[in-house]
């Protein structure tokens, strides 16, 4: 009898929870912008370019001068499971720590109570294989931000540069970590999905900001560990480039969501 009552209560609570979520979403209407802020850091600290004091693996001390990366193909999923896919041709953005361009603004997002966000790191093969003429304005934007090799090699998904010293070498050496798909021969595009700690509410009156904490230390010290002392220039590398691509998927987490009135940030 007690088990029956407990099961009945659980069923009621589940139905009530779904109903509340549905009712909440039905009260939201219209469209608005949704902002995604990329807060770049390093192992829990703020990332300041051209400043020493960031330690990678093997006691390598880094001075980071550049952190640029491409994010793309944004999708938002509501609490009830409805997926909004941002228009593909408009869904390619460059995060550039040097210029301070660290946010993505998704325009005209339909009203909803969004519980997760998905996006890609880099440019997918479908887009790249449209050729240079199919890239629209993004091609020139990538070139201006030094996020291109020659067209046949393709986009740089990551442009990470600076200098480093080691425990045995006090003289600074430069490093360059450029990762991309290298044309159509090696696909290093990766996608990830992140649950939000609280729903992002979009309506004609509400314009939410999703703050992502980005940990640049994961580039070299994530699922795979890479030593700059072993190789300080990583570009077209059949072994290390896919490892960096996998590391980048662990670089992002949602810190918090700010649900503000339209026009506020």
Residue linked to tokens 């220039």:
233
Whether residue 28 contacts residue 114, with contact meaning beta carbons closer than 8 Å, is answered with: no
CA distances in angstroms from 153 to 136, 185, 251, listed in the order given: 18, 9, 25
Gap between the terminal Cα atoms of the chain: 53
Residue linked to tokens 């072993």:
230
pLDDT in tens, 185-242: 889 999 999 999 999 999 999 999 999 999 999 999 999 999 999 999 999 899 999 9
Return the pLDDT at 164.
Answer: 95
Task: For residues 161-175, give the mean pLDDT.
Answer: 92
Neighbours of 39 (CB within 10 A): 14
Return the pLDDT at 140.
Answer: 95
- Dist. CA 200–CA 210, nearest whole Å: 7
Which among 221, 215, 160 is positioned nearest to 41, based on CA atoms?
215
Q: Would the pLDDT of 15 be above 80?
A: no
Return the pLDDT at 2.
Answer: 41
Quote the DSSP letter at residue 133. G
Which among 61, 59, 83, 58 is positioned nearest to 73, based on CA atoms?
83
- Dist. CA 126–CA 134, nearest whole Å: 10
- Dist. CA 66–CA 140, nearest whole Å: 19
Q: What is the rounded average pLDDT for all residues in the chain? A: 90
| pTM recorded for the entire structure | 0.88
Q: Would the pLDDT of 119 be above 80?
A: yes
Q: Which residue has the higher pLDDT, 18 or 121?
A: 121
Percent helix / strand / coil, the chain, rounded to 5: 20, 45, 35
Return the pLDDT at 14.
Answer: 44
Q: Would the pLDDT of 156 be above 70?
A: yes
Strand partners, 164: 62, 173
Q: Which residue has the higher pLDDT, 19 or 43?
A: 43
Which among 148, 75, 147, 61 is positioned nearest to 115, based on CA atoms?
75
- Dist. CA 16–CA 26, nearest whole Å: 15
Task: For residues 9-21, give the mean pLDDT.
Answer: 43
Q: Which residue has the higher pLDDT, 249 or 20?
A: 249
Identify the band that residue 251 occupies on the pLDDT scale cut at 50, 70 and 90.
very high
């Amino acid at each position: 009898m007690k088990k029956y009552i407990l099961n009945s209560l659980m069923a009621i609570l589940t139905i009530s929870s779904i109903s509340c979520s549905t009712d909440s979403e039905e009260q939201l209407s219209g469209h608005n912008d949704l902002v995604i802020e990329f807060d770049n850091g390093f192992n829990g600290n703020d990332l300041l370019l051209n400043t020493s004091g960031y330690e990678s693996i093997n006691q390598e001390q880094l001075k980071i001068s550049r952190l640029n990366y491409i994010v793309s193909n944004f999708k938002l999923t509501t609490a009830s499971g409805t997926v909004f896919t941002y228009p593909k041709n408009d869904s390619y953005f460059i995060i550039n720590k040097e210029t301070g361009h660290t946010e993505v603004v998704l325009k005209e997002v339909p009203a909803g109570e969004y519980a997760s966000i998905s996006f890609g790191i880099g440019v997918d093969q479908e887009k790249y294989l449209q050729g240079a003429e199919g890239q629209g304005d993004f091609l020139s934007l990538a070139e201006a931000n030094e996020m291109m090799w020659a067209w046949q090699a393709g986009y740089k998904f990551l442009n990470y540069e600076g200098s480093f010293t080691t425990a045995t070498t006090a003289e600074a050496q430069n490093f360059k970590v450029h990762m991309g798909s290298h044309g159509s021969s090696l696909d290093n595009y990766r996608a990830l999905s992140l649950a939000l700690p609280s729903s992002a509410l979009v309506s004609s009156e509400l314009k939410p900001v999703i703050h992502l904490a980005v940990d640049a230390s994961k580039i070299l010290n994530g699922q795979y560990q890479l030593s700059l002392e072993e190789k300080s220039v990583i570009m077209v590398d059949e072994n290390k480039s896919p490892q960096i691509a996998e590391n980048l998927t662990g670089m992002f987490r949602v810190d918090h969501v700010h649900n503000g009135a339209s026009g506020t940030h």
